[in-house]
Amino acid sequence: MKVRIALAGNPNSGKTTLFNALTGSNQFVGNWPGVTVEKKEGKIKGYTSKGDEAVLVDLPGIYSLSPYTLEEVVSRNFLIGEKPDAIINIIDGTNLERNLYLTTQLTELGIPVIIAVNMMDLVRKNGEELDIERLGKDTGCKVVEISALKGEGIDQLAKRAVAIAKSGKNTYPAHSFEGCVEHAIAHIEEAIYGHVDSSMERWYAVKLFERDEKVQESLKLTKELLDHIEEDIASCEREMDDDAESIITGERYNYIGSIIEDCYKKRVKKQMSVSDKIDRVVTNRFLALPIFAIVMFLVYYVSVTTVGSILTDWTNDTLFGEWIIPGARSALEAIGCAEWLVGLLVDGIISGVGAVLGFVPQMLVLFLFLAFLEGCGYMARIAFIMDRIFRKFGLPGKSFIPMLIGTGCGVPGVMASRTIENDRDRKMTIMTTTFIPCGAKLPIIALIAGALFNGAAWVAPSAYFVGIAAIICSGIILKKTKMFAGDPAPFVMELPAYHLPTVGNVLRSTWERGWSFIKKAGTIILLSTIFVWFAQGFGFEGGHFGMVEDMENSLLAAIGSAIAWIFTPLGWGNWKSAVAAITGLVAKENVVGTFGILYGFGEVAEDGVEIWGALAGAMTQIAAYSFLVFNLLCAPCFAAMGAIKREMNNAKWFWFAIGYQTLLAYVVSLCVYQLGTLLTTGAFGIGTVVAFLLIIGFLYLLFRPYKESQKRNVPKSVSGKVSA
């Protein structure tokens, strides 16, 4: 007989460890249809003979079956849609309270559930004991104690799980809600009778009671039926004086509290842990932000200013500048390579890719710090602290982490948005993360500040300010559109106890982020440097196509001239600036280098000090600032666009994001240039009128009222601090 068993549990409960122990290395890894969450499947060892087969499916780690995160939606779609023969619910024995929250929901699904209490080695070491039998009675499930890490209890678990899957005997929840809730649920079950699989009625009824929109949609209930259900819910809410979702959550936690009373044979006296004491200071209302500012200052001081820049300078100046580039050149010349090929290989490819790789050491140091902060638990606190602020303009606190990582590189920044609960919040974060100046935009800032503003100290901070303002305004404006209406999901995030992260985990996370940056250098930048090298070196000159003497005749100049008019209202409608902005789409660090080439300097320093004079002659200060703003806000580099595409997983949303960013960049730059010119020279023209109209439109979008549907009362931010 062939059975399929799902493995469900919280993140970090030991799912992967158990999965590997049960299946050996024999697994299939793919993606869930239509989403970018990993799907793992494997056969349980020892059950593959005699026509017997037990397939184990590793579900994404989740805390509940609500529809707030992609992981939750994927997991519950699998459980409901595919109805596995059994569920192994792995729970972390050292953290029963938090883990049992999911258990209370899994047992309502009408699928046989077996509980595997993991980390028993730690539980025993802590001097605690669990009463397995009571736990089984209280939850209505079979329970097995295991240590996935040490391989204890694994065989017994596999045997029991397969037996339960074959028996087809459902688990029934051993818990009932408060009278009026049960009353409403019974009514709802009656109302949906025949619409759903009969064994799953209770789960659907509870979800409908919670007004779960995804379930409401999927059942396609008539308006009448929904209204009828709504009456029951509303009367229960009146009786309990709370909203439906909170009633259910509250009751679940009461129930879990009673289970824990029952099962812990030897309870350690509860006292304030070290972690709690640290949190008293770190998440303190007044101290939290200053502490955070100091931590971030230190991180950036080390990774960008000191250690990072030493490493990056060494990579750029010594490794590439003195060894690789001259070495490659003389090697190629020694073997008699054609001059144009040496040019392509050395000046085009190696210098182009090298310029990007130069950022890698700096990036790795930054990612190392961030991985440590994430691993030790501080990042979760930052999200919690920022939630109070971000919520005011419609973003969840968790979107701060992608933005923070985005200051290094937008690619891992966009990828970090995966942890964000609800779909709308995540999409909005993906759209706005790259407004924050990433590491590669810093040279552009240095160039403009140096060339036109005498290196004024305010230019760089103003770039961050523009980025942050763009995020805040976008948050507010987008929230007021129908697409994004609705409050950010309430803050539910585990605040794990502080601990020293393992070296392996920190290094792995650092490497994964760094690697996504390096890959970009190897692929997209490689291709584009070849293209730019070709387009600037070739063109029509003297009536035929070939290598050009004068860059003004190159293909690149032709392209730039063809589109330069677009940027005239922004103050920099000349082909050189247009070309620089285009190569910036390939990679932002290209902008400075392109100016260098276009002004005839070939290789320039990172901040392009050689061309400051030429640039100052070509642009006014206002035009240059408008150029800077455009490059900061417009569509990010190709690699980051690729990341956006992957994470949006939908072509329409991808184009919407890119279009929105570019449009915003255009509008803001236009206003900067037109109003700046008006103020400095008094020049008034059609452009000025357009700028004023745009500003009025912008203010309208910013200050118009929220959509009606948003007035409903949504739970405030609550800390998910639920450790047992």
Stretch that binds Mg ion, among 13-21, 102-110, 143-151, 690-698 (CB under 5 A): 13-21
Q: How far is the CB of 122 from ligand GDP (least distance, A)?
A: 5
Query: How many residues of this chain interact with ligand GDP, rule: CB under 6 A?
Result: 16
Taking CB under 6 A as the binding criterion, the range among 4-12, 287-295, 575-583, 684-692 that sits at the site for ligand GDP is 4-12
Binding window for Mg ion (CB under 5 A); candidates: 8-16, 37-45, 550-558, 716-724: 8-16
Q: Does 61 bind ligand GDP (CB under 6 A)?
A: yes
Q: Which of 39, 46, 53, 122 binds ligand GDP (CB under 6 A)?
A: 122
Nearer to ligand GDP, 23 or 590 (CB): 23
Hunting for tokens 């570019």 — which residue is that? 662
Check: CB of residue 121 under 8 Å from CB of residue 150: yes
| Rounded least distance, CB 188 to ligand GDP, Å | 33
170 binds, among ligand GDP, Mg ion, none (CB under 5 to 8 A by kind): none
Question: Residues in contact with Mg ion, total (CB under 5 A)?
Answer: 1
User: Which conformational region is residue 539 in: left (phi greater than 0), alpha (psi within -120 to 50 degrees), or beta?
Assistant: left
CA dist., res. 563 & res. 559, Å (int): 7
Rule CB under 5 A: choose which of 4, 16, 337, 423 binds Mg ion. 16
Q: What distance in Å separates the CA atoms of residue 582 and residue 627, rounded to the nearest whole number?
A: 12
At 348, the amino acid letter reads: G
Of 12 and 170, CB closest to ligand GDP: 12
Nearer to ligand GDP, 20 or 216 (CB): 20
* Contacted by 11, from ligand GDP, Mg ion, none: CB < 5 to 8 Å by type: ligand GDP
Q: Decide which of ligand GDP, Mg ion, none touches 149; Cβ closer than 5 to 8 Å per partner kind.
A: ligand GDP
- Residue 507: partners with Cβ closer than 8 Å, 6 or more residues away: 371
d(CA 305, CA 312): 10
Q: Does residue 69 bind ligand GDP (CB under 6 A)?
A: no
Q: 354 is in the binding site of which of ligand GDP, Mg ion, none (Cβ under 5 to 8 A by kind)? A: none
Choose from Mg ion, ligand GDP, none: what does 426 bind? Cβ within 5-8 Å by kind.
none
Sites for ligand GDP among residues 540-569 (CB under 6 A) = none
CA angle 388, 392, 393 (to 5 degrees): 130
Q: Whole-angstrom Cα distance, residue 4 to residue 21?
A: 17
Q: Cβ(669)–Cβ(629) under 8 Å? A: yes
Minimum distance of ligand GDP from residue 617's CB (angstroms): 58
Q: How far is the CB of 163 from ligand GDP (least distance, A)?
A: 23
Cβ 155 to ligand GDP shortest distance, Å: 15
- 3-state SS, residue 620: coil
Which residue in 397, 393, 435 sits closest to 417, CA to CA?
397
Q: Spell out, one character per residue from 12 to 51, where the chain touches ligand GDP: x when CB under 6 A holds, - when not.
A: xxxxxx----------------------------------
Please state the closest distance from residue 125 (CB atom) to ligand GDP, in A. 8
Q: Which does 89 bind (CB under 5 to 8 A by kind): ligand GDP, Mg ion, none?
A: none
* Three-state secondary structure readout of 38-68: EEEEEECCCCCCCCCEEEEEECCCCCCCCCC
Identify which of residues 13 and 554 has a Cβ nearer to ligand GDP in the complex: 13
Residues 516, 517, 521: CA angle, nearest 5 degrees: 115
Nearer to ligand GDP, 20 or 553 (CB): 20
147 binds ligand GDP (CB under 6 A): yes
Stretch of 146-154, 316-324, 343-351, 567-575 lying at the interface with ligand GDP (CB under 6 A):
146-154
Least distance to ligand GDP, CB of residue 119, Å: 4
Q: Choose between 117 and 291: whose C-beta lies nearer to ligand GDP.
A: 117
In terms of DSSP H, where are the helices of 323-481? 325-334, 339-342, 351-357, 360-376, 378-390, 400-406, 410-415, 423-433, 442-452, 459-479
Give the pair of three-digit tokens for residue 286. 């007044």
> Tell me, what amino acid is at 500?
L
Shorter beta-carbon distance to ligand GDP: residue 380 or 635: 380
Between 102 and 121, how does the x/- string for binding to ligand GDP read (CB under 6 A)?
A: ----------------xx-x
Give least dist CB 90 to Mg ion, A: 11
CB-nearer residue toward ligand GDP: 99 or 594: 99
Tokens of 709: 């549907």
Of the pair 16, 27, the CB lying nearest ligand GDP is at 16
Give me the half-sphere count of Cα atoms (radius 13 Å) on the Cβ side of residue 692. Answer: 6
Q: What is the 3-state secondary structure (H, E, C) of 483-519?
A: HHCCCCCCCCCCCCCCCCCCHHHHHHHHHHHHHHHHH
CA distance 682 to 674: 10
Closer to ligand GDP by CB, 387 or 421: give it.
Answer: 421
CB of 16 to Mg ion, least distance (A): 3
- Alpha-carbon span 440 to 165, nearest angstrom: 54
- Retrieve residue 622's tokens: 């206002």
Q: Please name which of 137, 146, 139 lies closest in space to residue 101, comparing C-alpha atoms.
A: 139
Nearer to ligand GDP, 149 or 497 (CB): 149
Nearest to ligand GDP of 244, 371 (CB atom): 371
CA distances from 109 to 113, 172, 202, 553, 704 (A): 9, 8, 7, 70, 43
SS (H, E, C) 445-483: HHHHHHHHCCCCCCHHHHHHHHHHHHHHHHHHHHHCCHH
Judged by beta carbon, residue 40 or residue 441, the one nearer Mg ion is 40
Stretch that binds Mg ion, among 15-23, 383-391, 397-405, 468-476 (CB under 5 A): 15-23
Which is nearer to ligand GDP, 149 or 324 (by Cβ)? 149
* Helix-, strand-, coil-residue percentages of the chain, each rounded to 5: 65, 10, 25
> Where does this chain touch Mg ion (CB under 5 A) — which range of 11-19, 43-51, 391-399, 594-602?
11-19
Task: Please count the CA atoms within 13 angstroms of the CA of 473 that sit on its side-chain side.
Answer: 20
Selection from 536, 635, 554, 641 nearest residue 594 by Cα:
536
Q: In what helix (H) or strand (E) does residue 575 lie, and over which residues does it extend?
A: helix 575-586
Name the residue nearer to ligand GDP (CB basis): 58 or 232: 58
For residue 7, what is the enclosing H or E element? strand 2-9
Q: Which does 216 bind (CB under 5 to 8 A by kind): Mg ion, ligand GDP, none?
A: none
- In the complex, which residues of this chain contact ligand GDP (CB under 6 A)? 9, 11-17, 61, 118-119, 121-122, 147-149
- In the complex, which residues of this chain contact Mg ion (CB under 5 A)? 16
